[in-house]
Chain A
Amino acid sequence: MGDVAAKLRIMPKDVEIDLEQLKEKISMVLPENVKLHGFSIEPIAFGLSALNVVVLVADAEGGTEEVEQLIEGLDDVESVSVVEVGRI
């Protein structure tokens, strides 16, 4: 039933985390049925930046849950929140 683009904001554990390395780790954990669309780094405050990632998932059961959990499971990640969803 078509695809849904979801933008996830990933907050690192602390200011020291290397977001470039985190990108690679995220690319590795994404399951096959999820298409990685792109990353961007969003500066927040006091040297702290969020890593935003856009993925394409099926408009089907489970929604963004699996992706959220897989990324949340990474050591360097403090939190994951889905900030936008929309059918493409």
Chain B
Amino acid sequence: MPAEKPHMNLAIIGHIDHGKSTLVGRLLYDTGVVPPHIIEKFKQEAKAKGKESFVFAWVMDSLKEERERGITIDIAHKKFETDKYYFTIVDCPGHRDFVKNMITGASQADAAILVVDAKDGVMAQTKEHVFLARTLGINQLIVVINKMDTIDYDQKRYEEVKKDVANLLRMVGYKVDEIPFIPASSWEGDNVVNRSDKMPWYDGPTVVEALDILKEPEKPIDLPLRIPVQDVYSISGVGTVPVGRVETGKLKKGDKVVFMPPGIGGEVKSIEMHHQEIPEAIPGDNIGFNVRGVGKKDIRRGDVCGHPENPPTVADEFTAQIVVLQHPTAITVGYTPVFHCHTAQVACTILAIEKKLDPRTGQVKEENPDFIKTGDAAVVRVKPTRPLVIEKVKEIPQLGRFAIRDMGQTIAAGMVIDIKEKK
């Protein structure tokens, strides 16, 4: 029996109308995921009307309707497979107010396809999504220069757009040499699943070939144990039961654990998932666990459970790279919005704006600027108003990302570069 293929979550990002949905549709259509009865139905209809080229468009519409009807409790994630992997597509909402969900949600993307329109080139949302992908810890990227049919498959224009995108990616810290750039037309089906005969000048991979050369994501099980506490219950006959999702590491029955920031420790008497007792919990598991020596009032939502020999880090101050998504005026030193990180929500003060970065060149645009505004990327120093567990994104990425919210809006997203620990 062949070994099971590894699974990957794939995010589709890019500017509005650059063809994200069409690319998704094409991937599903050409990899054979679309049910044959749907294709057949439209093929006949198209033939009768003499509009064969409309089949793909009709299939796309019909799929959307099916999804609307069909989704019940599992989100309508679209799945397909290549030779090497099973993929689940995370079709990212366009509006910025969903960024908080992408950061604190469960389905982190392992890789992303950035879609750029060959005619338009790099646009505002292209930049924003590239920043976000980096902030969300998506280290593997594939760039699709889409709609090549609208520019007559022109190599010169493709090279121009490729250069602009490469500059943008280099600036946020991607290793551009490792990223495939693919000229494609999702609409016509060029270089997505099937190799195009219209661009003889291109000898790189198709989108599906590029997906197969992605590296298997690192397993968070090898990192130190971190379980952000979602809620704490006192259950009669059992005792104190914190509930949460294991983000990294492994929790075993009998383990000594510590909850930070309070610094209260205890011993794990039992772990349950789906109402079954389990000997150990691994990343992704939603568990409740009973801890001897910890009272319900000792811990609360936003605390993080770890092992005493490698306890969760409590920050006195931290340095972060942020991107401002939307702010009505400007962000200055002293500003104290709410930071959403794992299950914690803590007001934090911007102590210093150390640098503003230029989205075009990647250079530091300004040292110690007076303010930053919508669209700016910056390095800032931050002080939580009460103790907060947060980790360097390089060490434990799952706990190193945050969304900043104020006035009911997600105003920025960021990642932690460095931490001054609270003693």
Contacting residues, chain B, for A3 (C-beta < 8 A): 68
Chain B residues in the interface with A (C-beta under 8 A) = 16, 21, 64, 67-68, 71-77, 90-95, 97-98, 100-102, 104-107, 230-231, 233, 235, 238, 241, 243, 271-275, 286-290, 301, 343, 408-410
Q: Which residues of B contact A47 (CB under 8 A)?
A: 235, 275
Q: List 13 A-B contacts (CB under 8 A).
A: A5-B76, A37-B73, A44-B288, A46-B238, A48-B235, A61-B409, A64-B101, A65-B97, A78-B231, A81-B104, A84-B105, A86-B107, A87-B91
Pick the 7 closest A-B CB pairs, nearest first.
Answer: A45-B288, A63-B97, A45-B272, A38-B72, A40-B73, A87-B91, A43-B275
Q: Is A71 an interface residue (CB 8 A)?
A: no
Are A1 and B16 interface neighbours, CB within 8 A?
yes
Please indicate the chain A residues that have their CB under 8 angstroms from the CB of B275 in the complex: 43-47, 49
Which DSSP category, helix, strand, loop or mixed, fits chain B's interface? mixed
Q: Is the CB of A59 within 8 A of B93?
A: yes
Task: Tell me the minimal C-beta distance from A66 to chain B in angstroms.
Answer: 9
- Roughly how many angstroms separate A63 CA and B102 CA in the complex, as a whole number? 11
**Which A-chain residue is minimally distant from B20 (CB atoms)?**
A87
Residues of chain A within 8 A (CB-CB) of B105 are 82-85
Q: A42-B286, A46-B241, A81-B343 are in contact. Are A88 and B95 (CB under 8 A)?
A: no
C-alpha spacing A4/B231, complex, angstroms? 27
Interchain CA distance A62-B98 in the complex, whole Å: 8
Q: Are B289 and A63 in contact (CB under 8 A)?
A: no
**Beta-carbon contact of B287 and A45 below 8 Å:** yes
Contacts of A56 in B (CB 8 A): 68
User: Which of A65, A79, A85 makes the CB contact (< 8 A) with B231?
Assistant: A79
CB contact between B101 and one of A38, A60, A82 (< 8 Å): that residue? A82
Q: How far is B287's CA from A87's CA once the two chains are assembled, in angstroms?
A: 28
Interchain Cβ contacts within 8 Å, total number = 142
- Please indicate the chain A residues that have their CB under 8 angstroms from the CB of B95 in the complex: 1, 59-61, 63
A interface residues with partner B (beta carbon < 8 Å): 1, 3-7, 11, 14-15, 37-40, 42-50, 52, 54, 56, 59-65, 78-79, 81-88
A5, A46, A81 pick with most chain B CB within 10 angstroms: A46
Which residue on B lies nearest to A15, using beta carbons? Answer: B235
Q: A44-B272, A85-B75 are in contact. Are A62 and B92 (CB under 8 A)?
A: no
In the complex, are the beta carbons of B287 and A86 less than 8 A apart? no
Please give the distance in Å from A75's CB to the nearest CB on chain B.
15
Q: Which residues of B contact A65 (CB under 8 A)?
A: 97, 408
User: With A15-B235, A81-B230 given, is the CB distance from A43 to B92 under 8 Å?
Assistant: no
Cα distance A60–B74 when bound, in Å? Answer: 22
B93 touches A83 (CB 8 A): no
Give Cα distance in the complex from A64 to B290, angstroms: 32
A56 to B73, CA, bound (A): 11
